Structure 1
Amino acid sequence: MPKGYTGAMTKSEKALSEKAHPASKRRERGVGILPAQAISRMIADGEIAIAEPVAEGQVQPASLDLRLGAVAYRVRASFLPRPGGRVQTNLDDLALHTISLSQGAVLETGCVYIVPLLESLALPADVEASANPKSSTGRLDVFTRVIADGVGAFDQIPRAYNGPLYAEICPQTFPIVVRKGSRLSQIRFRNGPAADSDTALRELQLRERLVSAEHADISGGIALTVDLAGDATGLVGFRARRHTGVVDVDKVGTYPVGDYWDPIYVKDKQRLILDPDQFYILASKEAVHVPPTHAAEMVPFNPLVGEFRVHYAGFMDPGFGHAAAGGNGSRVVLEVRSHKVPFILEDGQIIGRLIYERMTETPETLYGQGLKSNYQGQGLKLSKHFK
């Protein structure tokens, strides 16, 4: 959400909205995150334009999966367009070569690719959007962000934006196979300030038991801690192997774990030294619950307490860990990378915070209810691609 955003339309935004969305098509929206049925209405109204029909499962309870188009551009470096500039202008200058995705293609580690998406936007003046990698994408250590014309920030789409969307993709550990229609990112739509205050979050914790901790740490969100006690065998996580085979992002339950990951066992000391620029999969101590009235997002952790990153994929849909949707609390999987220097993680150390945001209305379907949700009720779990 842009800094200083109040949720109120300016006169120019209101005029733009009325011009682009006449009274017959405008809808009154509550304040909060838009659910699946509102996203479907946006598609029907042309506020979300799709180059091909909506795919099965593409509309999630509080988000929309974004699909890759038919071509990828290998570029020299990551970039953002200048104010008022077009992404295509940068591609014309920076592209090294063009790759067809129609039959599938390998994206190599350490390289930067830009892919036009099958979805574009014509947002009304009361709706903005934000994007994140999907959970499976983050767990593969694929760094991906969404870019929009004239927008000087990744993954942020301002109100009244009208134009195409692009995915920047940079595999970090495993080379990946993608094709037209592959889904690496998801987008969420928001009307006004939706985040609960700490006071409201404390009340929600008492009522809904958002996290399993007996005494939840609530300050600018609700704290999550890392589990380095592990299971009965001492298993606490996995460390990615280098120089592996490719991973096809559209294949489920295909790849042997041992070919791509080394298990990590921590017993007596319950601590882990993170090696710089290595990729780890760990899990939170707390089981998390997202009630149907809310969505949740993992926010970046303060670098002042450690130069490490714990989460690439930030969205948790309504129903995540919800008993009525087939869960009984779900632990959060952490995609961990230390920067520059080795860093020691201790069992129970705070590694991130969850922000809960109100939905404008309860989604028609919750996460885990007939959606083939891969991570409902999860503990420590690798991405869906592994056996």
Structure 2
Amino acid sequence: MTGVLASQQIRSMIASGALSAEVPILPEQIQPASLDLRLGTVAYRVRASFLAGEDIPVTDKLAAFEMHRIDLTDGAVLEKGCVYVVPLMERLRLPDGVQAVANAKSSTGRLDLLTRTITDGGTEFDRVAPGYDGPLYAEICPRSFSVLVRPGMRLNQIRFRMGQATLDDAALHSLHDARGLVSGTPVIADGLGFSVDLRPAEGDLVGYRAKPHTGVIDLDRIGGYAPGDYWEEIRTTEGRIILDPGAFYILVSREAVHIPADHAAEMAPYLAMVGEFRVHYAGFFDPGFGSHEAGGEGSRGVLEVRCHEAPFALEHGQIVGRLIYERMSERPDQLYGSGIASNYQGQGLKLSKHFRAG
């Protein structure tokens, strides 16, 4: 049996003790192809990002890098530009043959809240080797906005897989021919290409740029913030925008995407040679995202873009990212957008759920 583990298989992992937590795992943490991870009760302000390194526990590195610790019990602010490590409530005891990969949740990425998972003995962010038995930690670096967090908040998620699940280009072509993965002609090369939409069908609003000096965002406050207090609108009728170095943008893909019920996907960055910018690859795409099987008609991908050293002219239709498709081990017993709370089904250009629409 190979592929990404589905929701019912994640429940089996919880029942077997392969997944456990100091506070019982909640049903709403289980997504079609992943498990949401929860913040614990303390955050460590550290002077630098780090990986534990082979055979070294994270606690050893915390002893070396900790500046101070913050009790999250009644809520606390994580400040923009600082790095924090937060022990998570969940821990793993992975069976041999089951590996895990973590990623930030969609709303986390749209706030430019860099969140990565680290483990004891870890030599990579967001990757957990088969057989790992130990705790999980979130490294959090707010880059555009300071945020108010509390224990139990879910900023990142973890996906489990057995064996080789990734579709090669030939398999991806076949899947598109059979199921229609994107609107229009697919660009397939080491994944399914994403291009940017800078010529909207209506109006001239093409994206948002984070303002540099804003208030705190309470991550529990849904729909409570006026977009104009935190974001500048990016408008153009030319099909081109200039990205400013160091700035963070929310843009949208030109393509409407379908994730069939028996597949999952993950956004990955495109080749660095395309320009001095990077599309943040926060976000797993769950089975059923934009899919007719889950009542969708295609959903466009929101692009979280940061420009680096030099201003860069981004053109309409330019390839900026790619989706890596994977086979599911089983069809999930729940799909994205079908009977579960899915904030971004059928989305276009959209800020995180914390901001009022319109």
What's the TM-score bracket when you normalise by the shorter of the two chains? over 0.9
Equivalent residues in 2 for 1:10-159 (5 A)? 30-159=1-130
1:261 maps to 2:258: no
- Number of the residue aligned with 1:164: 135
- Read off the aligned partner of 1:252 and give its amino acid letter: I
1:243 maps to 2:213: yes
Q: Is contact 1:326–1:377 with CA below 8 Å preserved after alignment?
A: no
Alpha-carbon distance in 1 for matches of 2:231, 2:289: 26
Deviation at 1:162, TM superposition (A): 0.4
Deviation at 1:307, TM superposition (A): 2.2
Deviation at 1:56, TM superposition (A): 4.3
TM-score of the pair, normalised by structure 1: 0.91
Give the 3-state SS of the residue equivalent to 1:295 in structure 2.
strand
Q: Cα gap change, 1:231/1:263 in structure 2, threshold over 3 Å: closer, same or farther?
A: farther
Deviation at 1:196, TM superposition (A): 1.0
1:79-112 deviations in Å (ceiling 9; x for gaps):
1112100100111121111101111100000000
Deviation at 1:386, TM superposition (A): 0.3
Q: Is contact 2:260–2:293 with CA below 8 Å preserved after alignment?
A: no
Residue 340 (structure 1) aligned to one of 305, 309, 313: 309
Residue 313 (structure 1) aligned to one of 273, 282, 289: 282
TM-score of the pair, normalised by structure 2: 0.98
- Number of the residue aligned with 2:321: 352
Name the count of aligned residue pairs: 356
Alpha-carbon distance in 1 for matches of 2:61, 2:167: 39
Alpha-carbon distance in 2 for matches of 1:243, 1:142: 15
Deviation at 1:305, TM superposition (A): 1.7
Identity score, percent: 58
Residue 200 (structure 2) aligned to one of 206, 230, 246: 230
Residue 337 (structure 2) aligned to one of 343, 364, 368: 368
Alpha-carbon distance in 2 for matches of 1:197, 1:44: 33
Deviation at 1:343, TM superposition (A): 0.8
Q: Which runs of 4+ in 1 moved over 2 A?
A: none
Q: Is contact 1:131–1:187 with CA below 8 Å preserved after alignment?
A: yes
Q: Is contact 2:295–2:338 with CA below 8 Å preserved after alignment?
A: yes
Alpha-carbon distance in 2 for matches of 1:292, 1:321: 10
Q: Is contact 1:141–1:171 with CA below 8 Å preserved after alignment?
A: yes
Q: Is contact 2:264–2:287 with CA below 8 Å preserved after alignment?
A: yes
Alpha-carbon distance in 2 for matches of 1:56, 1:271: 44
Alpha-carbon distance in 1 for matches of 2:20, 2:352: 30
- Number of the residue aligned with 2:295: 326
Give the 3-state SS of the residue equivalent to 1:183 in structure 2.
coil
Give the 3-state SS of the residue equivalent to 1:60 in structure 2.
coil
